[in-house]
Amino acid sequence: MRISWSAAAVLPLAAMMVAGSVVAKDRAPGKGDQREAVMLNREEAQELLAGMRTYLETIQDIVSALADNKTARVPKIAARSGNKMLSGINPMTGLKAPVGFTMMSLDTHDKFDKLAEKAGRGASRTEVLTDLADILNNCSGCHAAYKLAR
């Protein structure tokens, strides 16, 4: 069964209102890995990992464009990791993952779209880097809070 991402986003959002938001668990030494597990089958896990590699490649290409003073390339690069990236993904995968994980993922795609839009309007390198830092904060926060169950 396929449903749209906009419809799929409503369910986790409703669940989050009921359950409260997910926060990173304490990762103090001696406590072991306290991250919440993301339980997916092999195919879903591979799809998720491919998406994370796309995030990294997008970030690398944006940094390279900025280093080469080619800010005009940023909109097309950033859009690769925007919401259009979700078009081939089964929304049920997002519904199987923890609510906070799914919400952070959707927020990250949205941040890439906003970065692409802002860069397309002529944002400065500093503005692009500020938005990129915000995106990387999502990445770091997600990896601190969640782990892929194997």
Q: Which value, in Å, is the radius of gyration of the alpha carbons in the chain?
A: 16
Q: What's the confidence (pLDDT) of residue 84?
A: 95
Query: What does residue 40 show for φ and ψ, rounded to 5 degrees?
Result: -130, 155
pLDDT per residue over 33-89, tens digit each? 999 999 999 999 999 999 999 999 999 999 999 999 999 999 999 999 999 999 988
94, 68 in Cβ contact below 8 A?
A: no
* Model confidence at 5: pLDDT above 80: no
Query: What does residue 116 show for φ and ψ, rounded to 5 degrees?
Result: -60, -45
What residues does each domain of the chain span?
A: 41-148
| pTM across the whole model | 0.79
Strands 146-148 and 36-38: what pairing? Answer: parallel
Query: What does residue 126 show for φ and ψ, rounded to 5 degrees?
Result: -65, -40
Query: What does residue 146 show for φ and ψ, rounded to 5 degrees?
Result: -130, 155
Q: Fill in the amino acid letter for 36.
A: E
Q: Which fold has domain 41-148?
A: Four Helix Bundle (Hemerythrin (Met), subunit A) (1.20.120)
Q: Is 4 exposed, middle or buried (0-12, 13-18, 19+ CB in 10 A)?
A: exposed
pLDDT per residue over 8-36, tens digit each? 443 343 333 333 333 444 445 567 899 99
